[in-house]
Chains A and B, each alone.
Chain A
Amino acid sequence: MAGDYPKIERVMGGPAGWVSVLFPAVLFVFFLNVLPDVVHGPIVAGIDWVPSLGVRMSVLLDGLSMMFALLITGIGTAVTLYSTHYLGDHPHYPRFVCYLLMFMVGMLGLVLTNDLIALFVFWEITTISSYLLIGFNADQASSRRSALQALLVTGAGGLILLAGLIVLGSVAGSFDLSQILTQGDEIRGHPMYGAILILFLAGAFTKSAQVPFHFWLPNAMAAPTPVSAYLHSATMVKAGVFLMARMNPVLGGTDAWFWTLILFGGVTAVFASVMSMRQTDIKQVLAYTTLMALGTLTMFIGAGTHYAILAGMLFLLVHSLYKAALFLMIGIVDHATGTRDATVLRGLAKAMPLTGLAAALAALSMAGVPPLLGFVGKEYMYHASMDLPGLGAIWVTLMTFAASALMFAAGGIVAWRPFRGELAQTPHPAHEGSWPMLAGPLTLGALSLIFGLFPGIPGHFLIGPATNAVEGAVHEVDLHLWGGINLALLLSIVTFAVGWLLYRNHEGIRARLAGIETRSPVDFDAGWDHLLDGFKHFASRLTDIVQNGSLQRYLAVTFTAYAVLVGGTYLARGAFDVGPRLIELGAHPVQWSVLLLMIAGSFLVVSTTSRMTAVAGLGVVSVGVAIVFIMFSAPDVAITQLLVEVLIIVLVTLVMLRLPYLPPRSELHFRFGHAIIATSVGAVVTMVLISMLSGPFDRKLTDFFEQTAYPEAHGRNIVNVILVDFRALDTFGEITVVAIAAIGALALLRGIRTRTKTDLNANEEA
Chain B
Amino acid sequence: MELLLAVTTGILTAVAVYLMLSKNLLRYLWGLVLLSNAVNFVIFLGGRLTPGAPPLIDEGEYAPVGEVANALPQALVLTAIVISFGLMAFALALIYRTYMTIGTVTSTEMRIAEPRPRKSESDE
A603 at the interface (CB under 8 A from B): yes
The proximity string for A residues 624-666 relative to B, scoring 1 for CB distances below 8 Å and 0 otherwise, is 0100110111111100110010011001100100111011000
In this complex, the interface size class of chain A, counting residues with CB under 8 Å from chain B, is: 35 or more
Contact B10 A706 (CB under 8 A): no
Is A675 located at the chain interface by the 8 A CB criterion?
yes
Size category of the B interface is: 35 or more
Provide the B80-106 mask, 1 if CB < 8 A to any CB of A, else 0: 011101111110111111011001010
What residue in chain B is nearest A544 (Cβ atoms)? B117
- Indicate if the CB atoms of A632 and B8 lie closer than 8 Å: no
A717 to chain B, nearest CB (A): 6
CB-defined interface of B28-56 with A at 8 Å, one 1/0 digit per residue? 11100110011011101111111111111
- Pick 10 A–B contacts, CB within 8 A, sort by A: A637-B44, A651-B89, A652-B29, A655-B95, A659-B96, A674-B18, A678-B14, A702-B72, A706-B55, A706-B68
Q: A719: which B residues are within 8 A, CB to CB?
A: 55, 71, 74-75, 78
Of A716, A717, A748, the residue contacting B59 (CB under 8 A) is: A716
Q: B13, B44, B51, B52: which has the most chain A beta carbons within 10 Å?
A: B13
Q: Which single member of A693, A701, A716 contacts B72 (CB below 8 Å)?
A: A701
Nearest Cβ on chain A to B74's Cβ, whole angstroms: 5
Residue among A544, A585, A591, A689 having the largest count of chain B Cβ atoms under 10 Å: A689
Interface residues of A (CB under 8 A from B): 540-541, 544, 547-552, 555-556, 559, 578, 582-583, 585-588, 591-592, 595, 598-599, 602-603, 605-606, 611, 614, 618, 621-622, 625, 628-629, 631-637, 640-641, 644, 647-648, 651-652, 655, 658-660, 662-663, 671, 674-675, 677-679, 681-683, 685-687, 689-690, 692-693, 697, 699, 701-702, 705-707, 709-711, 716-719, 722-723, 727, 730-731, 734, 737-738, 740-742, 744-745, 748-749, 752-753, 755, 763
Asked whether, in the complex, the Cβ of B45 is within 8 Å of the Cβ of A706, the reply is no
The answer to whether A685 touches B113 (Cβ under 8 A) is: no
Pairwise interchain contact A682-B13, C-beta atoms closer than 8 A: yes
- Extra contacts, 8 of them, besides A549-B115, A644-B85 (Cβ < 8 A), are A587-B4, A595-B4, A605-B34, A640-B82, A683-B14, A727-B75, A734-B79, A745-B89
Contact A678–B15 (Cβ < 8 Å): yes
B48–chain A nearest beta-carbon distance, Å: 6
B-side contacts of A548, CB under 8 Å:
114, 117
Name A's interface SS.
helix
- Which chain B residues lie closer than 8 Å to A711 at the CB level? 62
> Chain A residues with Cβ under 8 A from B57's Cβ?
709-710, 716-718
The answer on a CB contact under 8 Å between B79 and A678 is no
A687 contact set on B, CB distance < 8 A: 10
User: A677 and B1: CB pair below 8 A?
Assistant: no
Set of chain A residues within 8 Å of B68, measured between Cβ atoms: 633, 706, 718
Complex contact B37–A622 (CB within 8 A): yes
Residues of B within 8 A of A663 (CB): 24
How close is A644's CB to chain B, nearest CB, in angstroms? 5
Q: How far is the CA of A358 from the CA of B108 in the complex (A)?
A: 74
A678 to B82: give the CA distance in the assembly, Å. 26
Q: Which residues from chain B contact A628 at a C-beta distance below 8 Å? A: 5, 41, 44
Q: How far is the CA of A734 from the CA of B96 in the complex (A)?
A: 24
- Shortest beta-carbon distance, B41 to chain A, in Å? 7
Give A731 Cβ to nearest chain B Cβ, in Å. 7
CB neighbours (8 Å) of B90 from chain A are: 741, 744-745, 748
The CA-CA distance from A716 to B60 in the complex, in Å, is 10
Whether B47 pairs with A702 at a CB distance below 8 angstroms is: yes
Roughly how many angstroms separate A490 CA and B42 CA in the complex, as a whole number?
A: 88
Indicate if the CB atoms of B21 and A677 lie closer than 8 Å.
Answer: yes
Are A633 and B52 touching (Cβ within 8 A)? yes
- Closest chain-B Cβ to A143's Cβ sits at a distance in Å of 27
Q: Find the A residue at minimum CB distance from B23.
A: A552
Docked Cα-Cα span, A398 to B37, in Å, equals: 80
| Complex CA distance for A640 and B99, rounded to whole angstroms | 31
Establish whether residues B87 and A741, one from each chain, have CB atoms under 8 Å apart when the complex forms.
yes
CB nearest to A671 among chain B residues: B21
For the complex formed, measure the closest distance between the CB of B30 and the CB atoms of chain A, giving whole angstroms: 5
Contact B75 A635 (CB under 8 A): no
Q: Which residue of B lies closest to A699 (CB)?
A: B70
